[in-house]
Structure 1
């Protein structure tokens, strides 16, 4: 059994302010990021909580059997059914689910003086999986639809061959056909890195992958054709999480998501390194045993050991139904990895789901973890999604939208206010890298792919954060969208289509269409906000490198700086993100829920962040 303790009221009330103190450029504490010990001390339950709960537990369970975790977040102990029932004044049952036994109760009762100190008990009304047994043969690795960690669109980015490959690696005349590293340099005004430059060993760029795997042969082909300054054989540093392995041995098994991420990031950051967080063994990464709902928990466990035992919003540790259980008889037989890797200064994530796919408490607990990572100096970038204001087909409705397929469906984890969401732009046919970009929007029936548009909208779970409020207010005041709306996420009780006071998505944007890639030995084009996130994150990683050279530190959570200095971005004023049978929102002057504040202007970004403490 595990009893999750409520974190102290001081942390609950002040965590947002603590993050703003170290993140806002106007703060005297800007850049003074916390250590992990600082975070543990600030968020741990009070002594009153731990003592009160221990006294109550010891009325049934001998104190010698109680274990309080190092971060004081929960008590763990073994109990007989009779002891558990006496402790909680309930009756436990077990049911078979997916060849596992789910132990649960319909309700449980706590003494009044204890209730204020306890967040969650397991097994309880949600249950705990017991007696895990072998569940069949391993799933073969392939290019199929991944399981619980889904690249945007529910599958790897759409790849297709291109009728024309650029004649050389510096050609800019065909950027409306294929986006190469040279096109990105022209769009965002930065130079190719010095391949012989001295770089910090502590500034590797992090990239998250799950159920999708890169091929070294494809990276080599890309380097040979587009970035001769990067030697063949260059590859990411593997931080394997719970059995995650890469690269693939067979070229035909290469993954479109992984190849896209590395073929975009390496040309921007090399000779800086890239750290690959390859998460979960193949059985779970491809949806084994029905674990297709949860996402990011085992990754967050691995980069912050306290997350394994952190209690918040009714969730403690990994969810017994949504998340993998290790050791896994079908794959990784080691224990769940907790705190085995240090988070990099910058992490890019091109995976996600819809808000409606996961319990709000699950998402809120993860959001708290993103806040903690920001406190410790890590910048998190997440692709905003590829279905505009809608969701994935069949995800709750035929078009993936809410309330009979009409209400706009926000994306997850994008709704969390403590990470940076990246939408997608495009160089349209006939345009050049010297023309303003437009929001990425490919209509259904376009060659080689289904409809795709840059994900954006407003959260139904999280309210508009203070750092974003002025920009959102201006958007509504000057560009009010023509749709009815609702407040506080209550769409079922209204005719509204979006949440008027929700966290706005995205924050920024970068190119995300017709990206030149090699996949499975073939040259072609790819896209999605999956491309936009590593582009923006890689540029921030370069800026962190320049700050380190002059004795300054990482940037951590960058949104307060972005929203207070929007001039460092190139405003996108054209395009929309249709979904749910609607046109979606329009890209307009200033912030909008299509391309955020705009695309990078590297010289302006660099100048500003080098001037800050």
Structure 2
């Protein structure tokens, strides 16, 4: 299979012609879509009542996604208007009319139908019985990991009348599961004294102490402490919150008073979407870490907490749904320059068509000028653990790090030098490896080829030799201090490194704005072309199988444990000419 952006273009063209990566198309019988591997935490609990309300979304084939991919590939960082992206993403009039006519013929009222901004997604309010009939599906009741019972099927058919217009229907066969990082440990008074007395490395920044990472340390380590942001009217960084995660403004204020006093007056705006409610009385580790890290690194830039969905929300791929929601409300959400997401899943839980739909949505959002940053995971080459029963070898890629429009972030520990986290040094392995779904993009060809020369035949057969490699970049991911319910804790994981990298890119956007430039947006081609703004990480690695020798060691240049290395803000500015 041909690699790089041409693969994405091919996927888009196949989609336009009615084909799909999930199953072969048939002009007479329709398009059969089967569920991927179902996590063992989802349990079949019986039949589903036909009268149960059930909404589904049809993903229509866009007019020219291959053209949008080509434009990004040729120009790198661009910031198109909504209308410009719509010209590529919207379906043709004929495609839209075909689907609308079919729905009408099936007795679905216009009042039950809604559209996204580009009209490439049609959501229908229906029932289990009607959806089962429309898509020849046997919808049954499944209990998800939170105990919520939802209608799902292991197979459905997109009818022949619309199979050339629709690539996917969600959440019929979607068994989505999401995870966060390792969690926090209590930081006692005695431990605080012990940590402060630990010996610092000779060349480490003066405020960087082992096992106790503060905002001041991060700013010194990555060179942002001498930069004064100016900010603007738009949202500099949108911080994602899923599965019912909330943060406390009181905790944020107390944290800033301790570790970034000049920012202590900052009040974090909150966007609540799809029934989400931020509950400050019940803050979560993930939300607390993300919000406190971002504000302490970017003040006075405008950071916003974007709370999407609920703890029991399993209505399909929530990552893709959030992309679509941000696109639909791009101006209302402040045209975010960076979108930071410290959550993940396992790639094995998604069919190729479903994964490509997400990556297409990421491409649209990126084309509008938003840099999308995701954590790479905390179980090394053994995925995120969301598909219980997966074990390595073979290696289990995380999701959605394989999409080339997502900046995947690994984790490091220590300061002089930084090393990729391992179970021995940080208690976990940062996610790393190669996608089984997404082919290697052209901007990564040289970097991956160089690493494969170093790797040789090690672990041959345990990973895709043609897949997109991740992470792209890394940062400190161990022993961050946070304040939750008035107490200080330590927390580790790529959930920590992700908002740190996202913060640095929001500061780069601020520096670009001061020069009259647009947001960086799709940063990958620049980073791989000009890695001089990054500090290479050559020790540690991404492992995690029962056989501890299996996995990817860090090496010179890019590797699938630390990526291209850690960011150094002054050098990145120089490389960008700002």
Confirm or deny a common fold (TM above 0.5): yes
Which position in structure 2 is the counterpart of 1:409? 396
Asked if 1:452 is matched to 2:428, the reply is yes
Which position in structure 2 is the counterpart of 1:143? none
Which position in structure 2 is the counterpart of 1:352? 344
- For residues 84 and 50 of structure 1, what CA distance do their matches in structure 2 show? 20
Asked if 1:73 is matched to 2:120, the reply is yes
1:175/1:481 Cα in 2 relative to 1: closer, same or farther (>3 Å)? farther
Which position in structure 2 is the counterpart of 1:179? 213
Q: Give the 3-state SS of the residue equivalent to 1:304 in structure 2.
A: helix
Q: Give the 3-state SS of the residue equivalent to 1:556 in structure 2.
A: coil
Asked if 1:299 is matched to 2:266, the reply is no
Q: How many residues align?
A: 507
Contact 2:186 2:488 in 1 (8 A): no
Q: Give the 3-state SS of the residue equivalent to 1:150 in structure 2.
A: coil
**Which of 262, 274, 280 is matched with 1:242 structurally?**
274
Which position in structure 1 is the counterpart of 2:562? 595
1:464/1:224 Cα in 2 relative to 1: closer, same or farther (>3 Å)? same
Q: Following superposition of structure 1 onto structure 2, how do residues 429-468 of structure 1 map, counting pairs within 5 Å?
A: 433=415, 435-443=416-424, 451-468=427-444
1:408/1:2 Cα in 2 relative to 1: closer, same or farther (>3 Å)? closer
Which position in structure 2 is the counterpart of 1:209? 241
Deviation of the 1:126 alpha carbon = 4.8
- For residues 410 and 9 of structure 1, what CA distance do their matches in structure 2 show? 31
**Which of 398, 404, 409 is matched with 1:422 structurally?**
409
- For residues 274 and 108 of structure 2, what CA distance do their matches in structure 1 show? 34
Q: Give the 3-state SS of the residue equivalent to 2:458 in structure 1.
A: coil
1:357/1:38 Cα in 2 relative to 1: closer, same or farther (>3 Å)? same
**Which of 505, 508, 524 is matched with 2:470 structurally?**
505
Deviation readout 1:110-164 (Å, 9 max, x if unpaired) = 557x5423434689x7599xxxxxxxxxxxxxxxxxx9542134xx455554343
Deviation of the 1:551 alpha carbon = 1.2
Deviation readout 1:145-186 (Å, 9 max, x if unpaired) = xx9542134xx455554343649xx98265223112222223
Q: Following superposition of structure 1 onto structure 2, how do residues 78-97 of structure 1 map, counting pairs within 5 Å?
A: 95=140
Deviation of the 1:264 alpha carbon = 1.9
Deviation readout 1:324-351 (Å, 9 max, x if unpaired) = xxxxxxxxxxxxxx99634411111111
1:587/1:84 Cα in 2 relative to 1: closer, same or farther (>3 Å)? closer
User: Which of structures 1 and 2 has the bigger CA Rg?
Assistant: 1
Deviation readout 1:224-255 (Å, 9 max, x if unpaired) = 22222122x42311011123233513xxx432
Deviation readout 1:14-57 (Å, 9 max, x if unpaired) = 3321222341xxxxxx53x2111221221222233334555666
TM-score normalised according to structure 1 size: 0.73
**Which of 451, 471, 483 is matched with 2:459 structurally?**
483
Asked if 1:381 is matched to 2:410, the reply is no
TM-score normalised according to structure 2 size: 0.77
- For residues 77 and 226 of structure 1, what CA distance do their matches in structure 2 show? 48
Q: Give the 3-state SS of the residue equivalent to 2:289 in structure 1.
A: helix
**Which of 57, 61, 67 is matched with 1:7 structurally?**
61
- For residues 81 and 422 of structure 1, what CA distance do their matches in structure 2 show? 40
Q: Give the 3-state SS of the residue equivalent to 1:363 in structure 2.
A: helix
Q: Give the 3-state SS of the residue equivalent to 1:468 in structure 2.
A: helix
**Which of 277, 284, 290 is matched with 2:306 structurally?**
277
Contact 2:431 2:561 in 1 (8 A): yes
Deviation of the 1:540 alpha carbon = 1.0
Contact 1:420 1:559 in 2 (8 A): yes
Which position in structure 2 is the counterpart of 1:131? none
- For residues 277 and 554 of structure 1, what CA distance do their matches in structure 2 show? 20
Contact 1:149 1:292 in 2 (8 A): no
Which position in structure 1 is the counterpart of 2:251? 218
Which position in structure 2 is the counterpart of 1:20? 73
Deviation of the 1:603 alpha carbon = 0.7
- For residues 452 and 333 of structure 2, what CA distance do their matches in structure 1 show? 42
Asked if 1:577 is matched to 2:553, the reply is no
Contact 1:425 1:438 in 2 (8 A): yes
Mark the runs of 5 or more structure 2 residues left unpaired by the alignment.
1-54, 198-203
Deviation of the 1:260 alpha carbon = 1.7
**Which of 87, 93, 98 is matched with 1:47 structurally?**
93
Q: Following superposition of structure 1 onto structure 2, how do residues 363-378 of structure 1 map, counting pairs within 5 Å?
A: 363-378=355-370
1:215/1:497 Cα in 2 relative to 1: closer, same or farther (>3 Å)? same
- For residues 395 and 80 of structure 1, what CA distance do their matches in structure 2 show? 28
Mark the runs of 5 or more structure 1 residues left unpaired by the alignment.
24-29, 129-146, 307-337, 428-432, 485-495
**Which of 270, 274, 286 is matched with 1:257 structurally?**
286
CA RMSD of aligned residues (A): 3.7
Deviation readout 1:34-84 (Å, 9 max, x if unpaired) = 111221221222233334555666767699899684634366779999999
- For residues 125 and 258 of structure 2, what CA distance do their matches in structure 1 show? 60
- For residues 536 and 112 of structure 2, what CA distance do their matches in structure 1 show? 57
**Which of 268, 293, 305 is matched with 2:297 structurally?**
268
Deviation readout 1:500-520 (Å, 9 max, x if unpaired) = 111101000001112222233
Contact 2:346 2:399 in 1 (8 A): yes
Q: Give the 3-state SS of the residue equivalent to 2:553 in structure 1.
A: coil
- For residues 130 and 216 of structure 2, what CA distance do their matches in structure 1 show? 67
